């Protein structure tokens, strides 16, 4: 009975956010908007412990072995919204980065993974390195000249 109640609450929560799916992935900022924060906090409630997605820098990972880093809009449009529209729960996991990993990655707080079958420590380390390199090569908007 308890399991049935928990499952119904989970699907009710996903259904509530389905009404706001048009506010998910509307930009590619690494910081989430309020709807994205609420959804990820809800979907990852059991995994995240006290972690809160509000004002956190998030990297989105897909691919069967977690090799594909995608934009926020691509992530929500391909890995989350189609499932929410069907009143289903997307397959989603998170890895909170250590302080050392956060520094090496260019300030990312967490990796959010969807549809990843195997994510090894080696792949996690490589992802942190790639994020750090990507962060180093991005120039501030003000620095671009035509």
pTM over 0.85, yes/no: no
Q: Which of 114, 101, 87, 88 is nearest to 25 (CA)?
A: 114
- Tens digit of pLDDT per residue, the chain (146 long)? 554 444 444 444 444 444 456 688 889 898 999 999 999 999 999 999 999 999 999 999 999 999 999 999 999 999 999 988 888 889 999 999 999 999 999 999 999 999 999 999 999 999 999 999 987 776 454 433 43
């Amino acid at each position: 009975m308890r399991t049935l109640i928990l499952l119904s609450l989970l699907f009710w929560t996903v259904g509530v956010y389905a009404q706001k799916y048009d506010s998910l992935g509307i930009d590619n900022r690494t910081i989430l908007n309020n709807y994205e924060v609420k959804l990820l906090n809800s979907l990852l409630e059991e995994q995240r412990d006290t972690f809160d997605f509000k004002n956190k820098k998030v990297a989105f990972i897909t691919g069967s072995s977690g090799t594909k880093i995608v934009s926020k809009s691509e992530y929500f449009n391909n890995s989350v919204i189609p499932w929410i529209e069907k009143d289903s729960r997307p397959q989603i996991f998170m890895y909170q980065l250590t302080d050392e990993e956060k520094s090496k990655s260019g300030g990312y707080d967490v990796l959010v993974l969807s549809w990843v079958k195997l994510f090894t420590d080696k792949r996690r380390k490589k992802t942190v390195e790639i994020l750090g390199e990507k962060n180093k090569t991005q120039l501030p908007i003000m620095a671009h000249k035509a």
